[in-house]
């Protein structure tokens, strides 16, 4: 740590400390710097050190420490105002607002003292000639906290009416505070409109739009705008995550999770900030935080998860129920302290109302991984539709309902038979009832139900229904095939098949039972065709079996839903067999026909499987519109019966198809749903990771950088080379690096790009490796790491050379030249690298394989000479004089003129590049005291645009704006030179 020996060293140390993360370490360093300042025997040093201390306290959880240094600073002002320079004088008055807010947040400071302080602030502002705008804002805060709505409204109106001056809060902070009051009064739409410039980035500061994004969450939900609320949560939480001083805004994000079905994410947020449970430096934000902790814990307890372990104060382990009690107690105790100070019950009333809030959305998927906690299953108790006079379940009613559901192929028929079987325990039943119960229980067991199907067959025989007995045996044969014993299944179904055809011919059984056996045989033979892939005989036998089903049912369905379902399934099975035979077009047509038949029969949930298969085939065949239609239909027809894994798959496929036609926003909605349902299915690490990766990429395409970054960061821990492939991992890192770069997080962007490059370096094709290394160089340079950036660019350059890509090589050399120049004394190295870029470009131009490639390299050479000239000109400081500086400017002019000539050789397509170089040359000539030459270039530029309109006549691609920019630059240069002559 540098020793503080003079005022300049002190200022450097304070600037460095200001850039450190918020928290106790930064505060402690500010205290050390104040001690060092006191030893310098320079009054302004102490004043600046006190101001620095106030700033770091204000932006931390230790705001309560502000009052002592401010009191000292105010005393210094009163005793010797001449020791304060203009900046510190302004800062002293500015900090009055911080102290006013800080007092209000500390319940041990009496209200009378706060009111007295408001008067002192008003008096001093008036003496200094400042507007009362900041004073009225502070008064509004006091009135709002005590619940004096009438006074708060008066102060609010006076706040808005007063002039904005140098003491007013920044636009972003003022709009947030004003909108907060409107939302408090139930005027959500007005609040959001007031916040709009902040939310859209027109106004910003150290804590905005962070706070406005957090405050907007519940108003958006209340107004039915959940998509915006989700976006604001992802953007806003990313901003407040690392800022210790923003516990109140952090609490609003936890509250949002508690009220939108995202309780698990709320717990993750609590786990990230354990100190928030115990930090006491700002009681108001602790009250806010503990209130939403209680809300979240009550929500979990209401879901049956009161005994779940949750993050809490570090002194012990906590269950949700225990933490709810602790948080509520602390919140109400803090609220009572404020109310005792204020003489009202307003703070306690607000806290209780907040803790009692009900969910505003049952389910709001966020895209980030967060599996909703599932309560332990309650003991299952059969609830019969009616009860007899003895209180026993009405068995006849249960049997009738089960038969109704199974006869009409309704979902949950198997469960209905299970309920009837439970109610029948100890009751003497006739063989038919027992047969149907055994039959449906066997269906629920799958391959394990073979023996039970045999028992059902025996009971059907006993009941006098030989056809249904054969159907049960055939079903038993089919489940053997499902278990992998296809040959055994073929043998087992042969007997029932022969017997049922003979029985049917003798009118000994009905169509339904006969078709059931024939369909079981067709299913088994189709399964054998799958196993014997490429066996024409197996395919032919299976197809004949399926067509036998159609022939048997033909014209006999009537109102029988079961028979209609057999026809639909048979059509789809023919499609399956056509696909095995390689006839994909026919397969798609038959899947569509089968799905349509299920829908026509009133059984849309059975269509889902075949619509999903149709979508895959259509996608494979390039019929994207048909694939999208089938996927949409599958989601619609599956409805509430569609299980979570299937729903996730369908949404993910839709995201891919819709994203492929360029509709990123619509595709993102499906990827979001896919991620949610994958989590619900317990497939977060597999299907969920895919969905999040796609969602992140789709958000990136829309320029929603912060949201995309949150989603991609959530996906990365689950994406593995083994499960998802190294391509998916590299793409995710790449996308994330792009997002972080756009967000200004350049060091983190470089890390992601380098990680991706490290994987891509092992690929046979090295273009991605080169691109990622180049991008990493950009990020490292922007992060202020020139040595690391140079190494990355050098690595990229070597790769571009090996790939025979002169454009990449030349750009890497130019980038390295600029980095060398920024080193301070690196002009020689920078000049050498630019010269290398010129040589590489000229050599590539000579070796260009065709005219198009040559033209592209002429363009590259023009840009290289232009940058060479700019670099040389930049190396000459503004106050440099003498022959050396002039020589460098002359050299720069040569390169810029060469650039203009090269662009001129390309014709009208390079007009803007040429005129830009001409104007750069003109500015250099002006610096070299050649005004006539410079003016001639400016006039030439204006002449080049004669007859071309400005922005108002552009064609929408920025052409008109470019014309206007060049004309303006030329006119400014002419005006400057004319004024110099005058």
**CA 836 distance to own-chain centroid:** 43
Q: What is the DSSP string of 223-278?
A: TT-HHHHHHHHHHHHHHHTT-TT-HHHHHHHHHHHHTTT-HHHHHHHHHH-GGGGT
- The CB density around residue 929, as the number of other CB atoms within 10 Å, is 10
Q: What is the pLDDT of residues 108-125, one digit of tens each?
A: 999 999 999 899 999 999
| Rounded Cα distance, 198 and 204, in Å | 6
Facing residues of 319 across strands? 309
Contact 821, 844 (CB under 8 A): no
| 217-261 tens-digit pLDDT | 999 999 999 999 999 999 999 999 988 889 999 999 999 999 999
Based on the number of CB atoms within 10 Å of its own CB, is 424 exposed (0-12), middle (13-18) or buried (19 or more)?
A: middle
Check whether 377 has a pLDDT greater than 50.
no
Output the DSSP codes for 705-725. HHHHHHHHHHHGGG--HHHH-
Residue 386 has pLDDT above 50, yes or no: no
Spatial separation of the C-alpha atoms in residues 742 and 586, rounded to whole Å = 48
pLDDT at 388: 44
DSSP labels, 18-41: HTSPSSHHHHHHHHHHHHHHHTTT
CA gap 583, 616 in Å, rounded: 14
Nearest Cα neighbor of 164 from 122, 136, 141, 144 is 136
Phi–psi pair at 504, nearest 5 degrees: -65, -40
Q: Could you give the CA distance from residue 875 to residue 830 in angstroms, rounded to a whole number? A: 10
Distance CA 15, CA 43 (A): 19
Q: 725-764 b/e with 16+ CB inside 10 Å = b? A: ebebbbbbbbbbbbbbbbbebbebbbbbbbbbbebbeeee
Could you report the per-residue pLDDT of 265-306, keeping only the tens digit for each?
999 999 999 999 999 888 999 999 999 999 999 999 999 999
Distance CA 763, CA 761 (A): 6
User: How many whole angstroms separate alpha carbon 10 and alpha carbon 28?
Assistant: 15
Q: How far is CA 684 from CA 676, 702, 716, in A?
A: 9, 24, 12
Among candidate residues 345, 304, 300, the one with its CA nearest the CA of residue 327: 300
Beta bridge partners of 393: 387
Closest CA relative to residue 194, chosen from 178, 216, 181 = 178
pLDDT tens digit sequence for 10-50? 999 999 999 898 888 999 999 999 999 999 989 999 999 99
- Give the CA dihedral 600, 606, 610, 613, nearest 10 degrees: 150
Rounded Cα gap, residues 813 and 834, in angstroms: 7
Distance CA 647, CA 673 (A): 8
Cis peptide leading into 618, omega within 30 of 0? no
User: Length of the chain in residues, anyone?
Assistant: 982
**Residue 802 reports pLDDT greater than 80:** yes
CB 366 within 8 Å of CB 262 = yes
C-alpha angle with apex 230: 226 to 233, nearest 5 degrees?
135
Phi, psi of 309 (to 5 degrees): -75, 135
- Per-residue pLDDT averaged across 326-330, rounded? 97
Contact 176, 163 (CB under 8 A): no
**Closest residue by Cα to residue 819 from 838, 797, 834:** 834
Q: How far apart are CA 897 and CA 980, in angstroms?
A: 24
pLDDT tens track for 885-944: 899 999 999 999 999 999 999 999 999 999 999 999 999 999 999 999 999 999 999 999
pLDDT at 669: 96
User: What three-state secondary structure class fits 208?
Assistant: strand
Alpha-carbon radius of gyration of the chain: 38
CA–CA distance, 611 with 619 (Å, rounded to integer):
12
Across the chain, what does the average pLDDT equal? Answer: 92
pLDDT (mean) for 427-440:
91
**Ramachandran sector of residue 101 (left: φ over 0; alpha: ψ -120 to 50; beta: rest):** alpha
Neighbour-count burial of 250, counting CB atoms closer than 10 A to its CB (0-12 exposed, 13-18 middle, 19+ buried):
buried
Rounded Cα gap, residues 301 and 306, in angstroms: 4
Nearest CA-CA partner of 819 in 796, 785, 795: 785
Residue pair 937/921 in contact by the 8 Å Cβ criterion = yes
Nearest 5°: phi and psi at 643?
A: -75, 160
Give exposure, 565-602, as e/b (b: 16+ Cβ within 10 Å). Answer: bbbbbbbbbbbbbbbbbeeeeebbbbbbbbbbbbbebe
Q: Which pTM value belongs to this model? A: 0.85
Provide mean pLDDT across the span 67-86: 91
Residue 137: pLDDT over 90? yes
Q: Is the pLDDT of residue 370 over 80?
A: no
> By mean pLDDT, which of 366-380, 612-626, 704-718, 734-748 is the weakest?
366-380
- Give dist(CA 413, CA 605) in Å, integer: 14
Residue 500 C-alpha from the chain's centroid: 59
Decide if 64 contacts 279 (C-beta within 8 A): no
411: phi then psi, degrees, rounded to nearest 5? -60, 155
786 φψ region: left (φ > 0), alpha (ψ -120 to 50), beta (else): alpha
867, 875 contact by CB (below 8 A): no
Burial, 270: exposed, middle or buried (Cβ in 10 Å; 0-12, 13-18, 19+)?
buried
- Are the C-beta atoms of 418 and 441 separated by less than 8 Å? yes
Residues 838, 842, 847, 852: is their CA dihedral positive or negative?
A: positive
Residue 208, strand partner residues: 205
* DSSP class of 307: T
Report the alpha-carbon distance of residue 610 to residue 825 in Å, rounded. Answer: 70
Convert the pLDDT of each residue in 394-412 to its tens digit: 889 999 999 999 888 888 8
Evaluate whether 366 touches 715 at the Cβ level (below 8 Å): no
Q: How confident is the model at residue 957 (pLDDT cuts 50, 70, 90)?
A: low
Rounded mean pLDDT, 472-490: 94
Paired with 387 in beta bridges are: 393
Tell me the C-alpha distance between 867 and 899, whole Å: 9
- Torsion angles phi and psi, residue 282, rounded to 5: -135, 90
pLDDT band per the 50, 70, 90 thresholds, residue 884:
confident
Pair 806, 789: CB distance under 8 Å: no
Return phi, psi of residue 222, to 5°: -65, -30
CB 83 within 8 A of CB 50: no
Q: Which of 831, 758, 822 is nearest to 789 (CA)?
A: 822
Q: How far apart are CA 722 and CA 730, in angstroms?
A: 13
Helices marked H in 506-583: 511-531, 536-553, 561-580
Percent of the chain with pLDDT over 70: 96
Cβ-proximal residues to 320 (8 Å cutoff; 6+ apart), any chain: 297, 300, 301, 305, 306, 307, 308, 310
Distance CA 311, CA 288 (A): 17
Q: Distance (Å, rounded) from C-alpha 217 to C-alpha 357?
A: 14
**Residue 880, pLDDT score:** 64
**What number is the average pLDDT over the span 759-764?**
95
């Amino acid at each position: 740590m540098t020793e503080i020996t003079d005022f300049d060293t002190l200022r450097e140390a304070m600037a460095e400390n200001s850039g450190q993360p918020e928290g106790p370490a930064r505060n402690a360093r500010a205290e050390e710097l104040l001690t060092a300042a006191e030893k310098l025997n320079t009054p302004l040093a102490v004043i600046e050190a006190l101001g620095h201390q106030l700033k770091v306290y204000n932006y931390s959880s230790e705001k309560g420490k502000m009052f002592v240094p401010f009191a000292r600073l105010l005393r210094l002002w009163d005793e010797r105002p001449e020791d304060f320079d203009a900046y510190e004088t302004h800062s002293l008055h500015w900090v009055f607002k911080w102290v006013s807010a800080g007092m209000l947040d500390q319940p041990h400071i009496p209200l009378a003292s706060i009111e007295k302080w408001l008067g002192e602030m008003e008096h001093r502002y008036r003496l200094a000639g400042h507007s009362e705008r900041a004073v009225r804002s502070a008064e509004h805060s006091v009135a709002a906290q005590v619940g004096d709505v009438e006074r708060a409204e008066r102060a609010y109106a006076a706040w808005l009416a007063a002039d904005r001056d140098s003491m007013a809060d920044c636009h972003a902070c003022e709009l947030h505070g004003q909108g907060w009051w409107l939302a408090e009064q139930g005027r959500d739409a007005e609040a959001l409109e007031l916040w709009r410039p902040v939310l859209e980035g027109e106004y910003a500061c150290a804590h905005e739009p962070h706070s406005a994004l957090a405050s907007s969450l519940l108003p958006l939900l209340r107004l039915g705008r959940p998509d915006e609320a989700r976006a604001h949560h992802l953007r806003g939480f990313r901003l407040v995550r690392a800022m210790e001083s923003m516990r109140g805004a952090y609490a609003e994000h936890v509250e949002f999770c508690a009220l939108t079905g995202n309780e698990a994410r709320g717990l993750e947020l609590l786990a990230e900030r354990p100190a928030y449970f115990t930090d006491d430096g700002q009681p108001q934000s602790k009250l806010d935080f503990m209130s939403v902790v209680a809300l979240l814990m009550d929500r979990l307890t209401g879901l049956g998860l009161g005994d779940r372990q949750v993050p809490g104060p570090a002194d012990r382990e906590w269950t949700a129920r225990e933490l709810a009690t602790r948080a509520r107690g602390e919140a109400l105790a803090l609220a009572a302290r404020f109310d005792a100070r204020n003489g009202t019950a307003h703070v306690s009333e607000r806290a209780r109302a907040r803790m009692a809030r009900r969910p505003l959305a049952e389910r709001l998927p966020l895209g980030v991984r967060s599996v909703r906690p599932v309560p332990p299953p309650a003991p299952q108790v059969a609830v019969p539709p009616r009860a007899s006079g003895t209180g026993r379940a009405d068995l006849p009613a249960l049997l009738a309902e089960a038969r109704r559901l199974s006869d009409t192929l309704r979902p949950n028929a198997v469960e209905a038979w299970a309920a009837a079987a439970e109610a029948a325990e100890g009751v003497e039943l006739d063989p038919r009832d027992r047969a149907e119960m055994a039959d449906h229980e066997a269906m629920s067991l799958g391959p394990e139900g073979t023996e039970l199907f045999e028992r059902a067959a025996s009971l059907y025989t006993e009941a006098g229904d030989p056809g249904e007995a054969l159907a049960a045996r055939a079903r038993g044969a089919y489940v053997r095939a499902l278990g992998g014993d296809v040959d055994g299944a073929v043998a087992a179904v042969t007997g029932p098949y022969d017997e049922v055809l003979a029985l049917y011919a003798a009118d000994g059984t009905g169509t339904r039972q006969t078709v059931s056996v024939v369909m079981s045989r067709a299913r088994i033979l189709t399964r054998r065709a799958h196993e014997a892939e490429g066996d024409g005989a197996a395919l032919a036998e299976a197809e004949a079996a399926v067509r036998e089903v159609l022939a048997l049912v033909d014209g006999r369905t009537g109102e029988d839903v079961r028979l209609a379902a057999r026809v639909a399934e048979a059509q789809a099975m023919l499609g399956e067999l056509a696909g095995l035979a390689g006839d994909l077009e026919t397969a798609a047509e038959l899947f569509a026909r089968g799905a349509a038949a299920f829908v026509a029969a009133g059984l849309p949930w059975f269509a889902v499987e075949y619509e999903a298969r149709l979508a895959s085939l259509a996608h494979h065949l390039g019929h994207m519109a048909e694939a999208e239609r089938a996927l949409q239909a599958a989601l619609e027809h599956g409805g509430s019966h569609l299980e979570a894994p299937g729903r996730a798959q369908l949404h993910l496929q839709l995201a891919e198809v819709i994203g492929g036609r360029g509709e990123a926003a619509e595709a993102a909605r499906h990827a979001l749903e896919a991620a949610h349902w994958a989590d619900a299915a317990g497939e977060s690490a597999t299907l969920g990771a895919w969905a999040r990766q796609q969602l992140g990429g789709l958000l990136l395409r829309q320029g929603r950088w912060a949201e995309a970054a949150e989603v991609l960061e959530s996906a990365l821990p689950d994406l593995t080379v083994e499960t998802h492939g190294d391509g998916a991992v590299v793409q995710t890192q790449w996308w994330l690096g792009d997002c972080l770069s756009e967000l200004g997080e350049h060091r983190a962007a470089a890390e992601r790009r380098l990680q991706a490059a490290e994987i891509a370096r092992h690929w046979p094709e090295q273009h991605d490796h080169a691109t990622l290394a180049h991008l990493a160089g950009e990020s490292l340079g922007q992060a202020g790491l020139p040595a690391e950036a140079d190494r990355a660019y050098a690595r990229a350059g070597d790769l571009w050379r090996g790939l025979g890509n002169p454009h990449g090589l030349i750009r890497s050399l130019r980038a390295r030249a600029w980095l060398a120049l920024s080193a301070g004394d690196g002009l020689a190295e920078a000049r050498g690298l630019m010269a290398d870029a010129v040589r590489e470009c000229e050599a590539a131009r000579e070796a260009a394989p065709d005219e198009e490639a040559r033209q592209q390299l002429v363009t590259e050479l023009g840009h290289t000479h232009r940058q060479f000239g700019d670099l040389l000109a930049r190396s000459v400081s503004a106050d440099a004089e003498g022959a050396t500086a002039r020589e460098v400017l002359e050299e720069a002019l040569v390169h810029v003129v060469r650039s203009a000539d090269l662009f001129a050789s390309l014709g009208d397509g390079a007009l803007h590049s040429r005129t830009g170089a001409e104007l750069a040359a003109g500015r250099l000539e002006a610096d070299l005291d050649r005004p006539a030459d410079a003016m001639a270039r400016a006039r030439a530029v204006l002449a080049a645009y004669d007859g071309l309109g400005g922005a108002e006549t552009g064609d929408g691609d920025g052409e008109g704006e470019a014309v206007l920019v060049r004309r303006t630059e030329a006119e400014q240069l002419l005006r400057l030179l004319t004024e110099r002559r005058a």
